[in-house]
């Protein structure tokens, strides 16, 4: 019987206690991996270095006059521009059926986002020709069972029509493939002209203006020129590159990094306390056994390694199961959200960080009881009741 077998048997000599400890560690690593992967994924969109976005200086939720779009498109250094408006759409249920619906200008939108709009030519043409046409990301269409050619009623929780209805009827003419990192993840596209003609307020207003510069080296100059043009106007602007805009959009969910740090720190602090106390008690319960082992020839360094090994084995078992559970949970999120959420996927780096944290956890919780066993004299151990 080698030391590893002895460590395993000692660890599971009280199965219920050990299983509860493993579950506690599992939950901590599950939270760590899920939230860490989520934080990374919400910023994991493909951003072109020369694609920028102009929004209201107040907040990107504030609208801009459509006249701004024409002026931005005509700015020196701007190669192509488009505009979007948030529709606030949902299908049937305002919570479960929520989706990012954008009112766009088809011609310019397909120019600025052509890399992420690889759809068949027939579907593209159908979208361009019909004002009531709609394109949906493939996962969204699959979630609701939508088929090309089907008439889809979409509700808005922001806008209404002249007759008071909040439902618009669209025809699904195509679906958009959304590989990881696609800017169209979860998106549903409708015509801005149709939207603008039917709403009861907010006419000739747009949400934001994405555009391509003639080169990434021109970004700063173009941004300064645009924002200077609208300075001191009723609708001042803030222009930034697409990557920064995506981060700002994600920040509306809250300070994710801070939340992750606080939750994970609290979880591991609690686990550290629980596991450390339990390991100390476990070694104290085996004081006489440690004395017997030393009397049989087990050296103090060997006993120290075995006690420390138990702590490390416990930490790595819990961490491994937590990482596996996180990978499983994140694998089902895309299907559960129907593509409406960002492409949340398990970040392999989380496994590496988990291994390092498990190592630290095992060492910190095991070092005190291991040193106690190391220093224990045979006569004291056998004499203790």
Average pLDDT score, the chain = 84
CB 79 within 8 A of CB 213: yes
The whole-number pLDDT of residue 334 equals 60
The whole-number pLDDT of residue 343 equals 56
347 three-class SS: coil
**pLDDT band at residue 380 using 50, 70 and 90 as cut-offs:** low
Rounded to whole angstroms, how far apart are CA atoms 311 and 370? Answer: 9
Choose the most confident range, by mean pLDDT, from 32-41, 88-97, 262-271: 88-97
Q: Is the pLDDT of residue 259 over 70?
A: no
The whole-number pLDDT of residue 297 equals 78
Mean pLDDT of all residues in 354-363? 88
CB 366 within 8 A of CB 279: yes
| φ, ψ for residue 15, nearest 5 deg | -55, -40
Residues 13-57: tens digit of each pLDDT: 788 888 888 888 888 888 888 877 877 766 666 678 899 999 999
Rounded to whole angstroms, how far apart are CA atoms 231 and 183? Answer: 30
Residues 201-252: tens digit of each pLDDT: 999 999 999 999 999 999 999 999 999 999 999 999 999 988 777 766 655 5
Rounded to whole angstroms, how far apart are CA atoms 342 and 38? Answer: 9
CA–centroid distance for 385 within its chain:
54
Question: Lowest-pLDDT range, 100-104, 120-124, 162-166?
Answer: 162-166
Give the Cβ contact number of residue 72 at 10 Å.
24
Residues 111-156: tens digit of each pLDDT: 999 988 989 999 999 999 999 999 999 988 988 999 999 999 999 9
The alpha-helical segments, DSSP class H, found in the chain are 3-11, 15-41, 66-73, 106-112, 121-129, 138-144, 192-198, 219-229, 242-251, 256-285, 287-295, 300-337, 348-375, 378-383
Q: Is the pLDDT of residue 73 over 80?
A: yes
The whole-number pLDDT of residue 1 equals 55
């Amino acid at each position: 019987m080698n030391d590893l077998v002895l460590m395993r048997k000692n660890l599971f000599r009280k199965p219920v206690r050990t299983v509860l400890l493993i579950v506690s560690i599992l939950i901590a690593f599950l939270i760590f991996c899920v939230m860490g992967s989520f934080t990374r994924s919400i910023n994991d969109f493909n951003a072109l270095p020369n694609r920028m976005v102009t929004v209201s200086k107040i907040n990107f939720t504030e609208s801009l006059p459509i006249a701004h779009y024409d002026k931005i498109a005509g700015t020196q250094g701007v190669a192509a521009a488009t505009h979007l408006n948030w529709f606030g759409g949902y299908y049937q249920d305002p919570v479960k059926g929520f989706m990012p619906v954008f009112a766009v200008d088809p011609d310019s939108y397909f120019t600025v986002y052509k890399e992420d709009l690889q759809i068949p030519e027939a579907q593209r043409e159908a979208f361009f020709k019909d004002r009531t046409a709609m394109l949906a990301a493939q996962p969204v269409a699959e979630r609701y069972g939508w088929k090309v050619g089907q008439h889809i009623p979409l509700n808005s929780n922001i806008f209404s029509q002249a007759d008071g209805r909040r439902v618009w009827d669209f025809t699904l003419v195509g679906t958009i493939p959304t590989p990881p990192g696609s800017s169209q993840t979860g998106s549903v596209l409708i015509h801005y002209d149709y939207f603008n003609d039917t709403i009861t307020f907010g006419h000739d207003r747009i949400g934001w203006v994405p555009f391509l510069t003639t080169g990434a080296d021109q970004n700063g100059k173009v941004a300064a020129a645009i924002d200077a043009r609208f300075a001191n106007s009723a609708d001042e602007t803030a222009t930034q590159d697409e990557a920064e805009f995506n981060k700002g959009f994600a920040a509306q969910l809250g300070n994710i990094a801070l939340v992750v740090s606080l939750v994970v720190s609290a979880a591991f602090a609690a686990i550290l306390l629980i596991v450390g106390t339990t390991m100390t008690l476990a070694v104290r319960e085996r004081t006489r056994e440690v004395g017997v082992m030393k009397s049989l020839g087990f050296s103090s360094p060997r006993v120290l390694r075995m006690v420390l090994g138990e702590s490390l084995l416990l930490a790595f078992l819990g961490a491994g199961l937590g990482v596996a559970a996180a990978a499983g949970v994140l694998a089902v999120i895309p299907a559960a959200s129907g593509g409406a959420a960002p492409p949340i996927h398990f970040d392999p780096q989380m496994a590496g960080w988990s291994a390092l944290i498990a190592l630290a956890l095992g060492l910190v919780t095991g070092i005190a009881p291991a040193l106690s066993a190391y220093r224990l004299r045979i006569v004291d151990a056998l004499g203790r009741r």
